[in-house]
Amino acid sequence: MRTLIFGNRVIGDGFPAYVVAEIGINHNGSIDIAKRLIDAAANAKCDAVKFQKRTPELCVPAHQRDQRRSTPWGEMSYLEYRRRMEFGIEEYEQLIEHCRSRSIDWFTSCWDESAVDFIECFEPIGYKIPSAALTDVGLLRRFRQTGRPLILSTGMSTMCQIEAAVGLLGTENLLITHATSTYPCPLAELNLRMIHTIRARFDCAVGYSGHEVGLATTLAAVCLGASLIERHITLDRAMWGTDQAASVEPRGLERLVQYIRDVECAMGDGVKMVYESERAVMNKLRRADQLILHTDQLMMNGPHVVN
């Protein structure tokens, strides 16, 4: 059984897909926007929201720190921009309390070991390992040290790199998400059949983290066996920010979650049966069980050979 205990939920085969609304950095450093995004996710009946946490001094390469960047707060260095985008202790306390008031789970992806230390203080239900960190051995070990459930994203990675990361993390407390790290991702590069490839290679639950425009391909991921679905969300795709264009707006998020639940209901168990709702139609339209009678006669007389 490919399952993962994540908070109060079981994620995996035979259970409803766990839908994550990725807030990420689409809050643009605003606690008000972040709360509105939490509300949008809760209203859409998502299971969780996800934030991102970085330590700018560790995550911004030295050669990029002084590069100038146009931002909503004016032109500034890239390092200062990254600092503006980060929430501190007080902000996280507010966001966590807001999630609690809306009865929705929360967790984060952490981009460095200090960020893991910071989030550990809030006792999250688990962590997302971002695609960019899949080859960061020190950070992977820090994630594993927490003992919490882990979701490993696999964008911009080779199978050899994924296998090495899973070898270090183990599969007992792990879910692997297929992803392609292009924002937005062209449909031809989504490669949704990788969900089957990952399922065949690793003995753990599998999910899908989508960065495409539209909803149909995310539904296809559910049909292919994704137990967790993650999509970036935004109040408006025209807002400032690199991830906004590949995100889903509130109304679209509501439709996506409803579509997922509809698809899950429609998938069935694969066992053919005559439903009670069909019987009136059957009695009206079917002439006789001639095929069954003919089949029974063939079985009694042996196979019929046509020369």
What secondary structure does DSSP assign to 125-178, as a single string? S-EEE-GGGTT-HHHHHHHHHHT--EEEE-TT--HHHHHHHHHHH-STTEEEEE
So what's the pLDDT on residue 230?
A: 98
User: What is the number of residues in the chain?
Assistant: 307
Total domains in the chain come to 1
Q: Give yes or no for a contact between 17 and 264, defined as CB atoms under 8 angstroms apart.
A: yes
pLDDT of residue 253: 98
Is residue 186 domain-resident? yes
**pTM for the model:** 0.91
Q: How many CB atoms lie within 10 A of CB 189?
A: 10
296 located within any domain:
no
Q: Is residue 281 part of a domain?
A: no
**Does some domain include residue 68?**
yes
Q: Which two tokens stand for residue 172?
A: 């007992």
Could you read off the pLDDT tens digit of each residue along the chain, which spans 307 residues?
789 999 999 999 999 999 999 999 999 999 999 999 999 999 999 999 999 999 999 999 999 999 999 888 899 999 999 999 999 999 999 999 999 999 999 999 999 999 999 999 999 999 999 999 999 999 999 999 999 999 999 999 999 999 999 999 999 999 999 999 999 999 999 999 999 999 999 999 999 999 999 999 999 999 999 999 999 999 999 998 889 999 999 999 999 999 999 999 999 999 999 999 999 999 999 886 666 655 555 555 655 554 4
CB 130 within 8 A of CB 111: yes
Q: What is the pLDDT of residue 123?
A: 97
CB atoms inside a 10 Å sphere around CB 20:
27
pLDDT at 72: 85
CATH code assigned at 198? 3.20.20.70
**Cβ(241)–Cβ(184) under 8 Å?**
no
Task: Say if residue 304 is exposed, middle or buried (CB neighbours under 10 Å; 0-12, 13-18, 19+).
Answer: exposed
Asked whether residue 299 is assigned to any structural domain, the reply reads no
Nearest to 132 by CA among 124, 140, 121: 140
Report the pLDDT value the prediction gives residue 90, as an integer from 0 to 100: 98
Nearest alpha-carbon partner for 199 in 179, 180, 175: 175
> Is 255 in contact with 215 (CB distance < 8 Å)?
yes
The per-residue pLDDT for 306 is 47
> Is residue 273 a part of any domain in this protein?
no
Distance of CA 99 to the CA centre of its chain: 18
d(CA 32, CA 146): 30
Domain residue limits at 231: 3-267
11 inside domain: yes
